Every structure is written in C-alpha cells, then in structure tokens.
C-alpha cells in the first residue's frame, strides 16, 4: 500500500512540477506549454511556428540563408615577440591548447575582430625532418624502388590537401578555416580556425 501512495505522490509532484515549468515558460517566453494548451484553454495547433528570430534554422534554411565567408590566405607574416605572447600579423598567440606530431595548436586573439580562434601552427622543417626528407636522397644505383620526387612532395602536400578540404567544408559540426598564414620565407604554416569555447 505504501508503494501505491508513493507512486501517487510522485505523480502529483510530477504534475505540479510540469505545471510550474509550463507557467514559467509561458510567462517568460510566451511559448506554448508542453500540453499544448494556453492559459485561455484553447489548444494550439502544431503548425504554429515561432518567429524567425525566436527559433533555430533547419539545416536547409541555414544553407540557403547564411553564406560561408571565404578563407583568407596571407602570404606575408610579420612575427613579433611581445612580453607574454607572440604576435603574428593581427593575431596574438596565447597559451598552447593542443599538440601534435608536427606542430601545436594555440589560443589566438584577433585584435581586428576581437575574437578568439584556435590556431594550428605547423613547422614545415619539422614535418619534413620527421618524415625523413631532409636526409640525403638515395643514389641512382641504390636498390630504392621509390621515386624521390613523389616521396619529397608527400608531407607538405598532405597539409595543403587538409587546407583545401577545410576551405570547402561548410558543416556545423566541422570548425571553419578562417585564415591561412603561409609565408614562403618562414618555417611556420599557420591555420586560424573558427572561434570556440575554451573550458578551463
């Protein structure tokens, strides 16, 4: 019998809680409560849509209404050492937030747009060295079956292929490539990606 009373109490508590949440939603946002009835007792139809500013757009609407900004490609990079960070053009590189085999990801602050970005910094020399391309190539008479030209192109080509793919991708689950800083005279290749939320 106590189980029956407890289930009735839980049901009453659940109903009371649902009514309270519905009243708060209706008062704060003028949203139809979960039961579909407004306070005047009239049932609203499911075809009612919130105004455009109050709802999220569907994937079809998002694709047709928001044009993706093109990726900026910068061929000249000005590098300045400041007290607590390194300045790359308009970006201030702050702390390291990730690390990979060929480079690091740093928190970057864009002084022009006043936004934070994740910047992937790839060392071209380190990439080539770790893949074995800064060593002497085998001589023509050796038993090497690989074409040295094809082998030498692979490491940097993979990075440039990644850039080409990221430039074309436009999906809400994939970070957007905002800018590529690739100075031929410098070792670093910098890829600034869409802003993100940093949880500490």
User: Among positive and negative, which fits the CA dihedral 135, 140, 145, 146?
Assistant: positive
What are residue 73's DSSP bridge partners?
A: 180
Pairing of strands 72-74, 177-182: parallel
Do residues 79 and 186 make contact, with C-beta atoms less than 8 angstroms apart?
yes
Please calculate the CA angle 98-101-104 and round it to the nearest 5 degrees: 30
Residue 166 has pLDDT above 70, yes or no: yes
Both structure tokens of 125: 């020399």
Rounded to an integer, what distance in angstroms lies between the CA atom of residue 157 and that of residue 171?
A: 24
Mean pLDDT over 79-83 rounds to: 85
Q: Which pLDDT does position 147 carry in this prediction? A: 56
pLDDT over threshold 50, residue 140: yes
Res 15 pLDDT > 70: yes
Name, of 8-17, 30-39, 168-177, the range with top average pLDDT. Answer: 168-177
* Single pTM value for the model: 0.53
3-state DSSP assignment of residue 98: strand
Q: Could you give the residue ranges of the DSSP H alpha helices within the chain? A: 2-29, 59-65, 124-130, 148-168
pLDDT at 161 over 70: yes
Q: Is 120 annotated as a binding residue?
A: yes
Phi, psi of 79 (to 5 degrees): -110, 125
Residue 46: the pLDDT is 45
Q: Measuring CA to CA, which residue among 164, 36, 180 is closest to residue 120?
A: 180
Tokens matching residue 151: 């082998």
**Residue 159 near residue 127 (C-beta atoms within 8 A):** yes
What fold, for 72-193? Phosphorylase Kinase; domain 1 (3.30.200)
Q: Which helix (H) or strand (E) holds 60?
A: helix 59-65
The Cα 4–Cα 9 span in angstroms is 9
Rounded average pLDDT over 110-137: 78
Mean pLDDT of 45-64: 52
pLDDT score of 14: 64
> To the nearest whole number, what is the mean pLDDT of the chain?
70
User: Could you report how far apart the first and last alpha carbons of the chain are, in Å?
Assistant: 50
User: Over 60: is that where the pLDDT of 34 sits?
Assistant: no
- pLDDT computed for residue 77 by the predictor: 82
């Amino acid at each position: 019998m106590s189980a029956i009373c407890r289930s009735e109490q839980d049901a009453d508590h659940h109903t009371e809680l649902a009514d309270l949440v519905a009243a708060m939603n209706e008062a704060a946002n003028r949203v139809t409560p979960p039961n579909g009835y407004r306070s005047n007792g009239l049932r609203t139809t499911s075809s009612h849509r919130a105004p455009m500013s109050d709802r999220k757009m569907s994937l079809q609407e998002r694709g047709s209404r928001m044009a993706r900004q093109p990726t900026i490609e910068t061929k000249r990079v000005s590098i300045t050492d400041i007290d607590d960070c390194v300045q790359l053009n308009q970006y201030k590189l702050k702390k390291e937030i990730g690390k990979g085999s060929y480079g690091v990801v740093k928190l970057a602050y864009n002084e022009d747009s006043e936004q934070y970005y994740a910047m992937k910094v790839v060392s071209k020399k380190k990439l080539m060295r770790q893949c074995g391309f800064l060593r002497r190539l085998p001589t023509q008479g050796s038993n090497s079956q690989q074409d040295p030209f094809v082998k030498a192109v692979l490491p940097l080509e993979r990075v440039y292929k990644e850039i080409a793919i990221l430039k074309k991708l436009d999906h809400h689950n994939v970070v957007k490539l905002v800018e590529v800083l690739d100075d031929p005279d410098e070792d670093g290749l910098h890829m600034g990606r869409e802003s993100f939320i940093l949880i500490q």
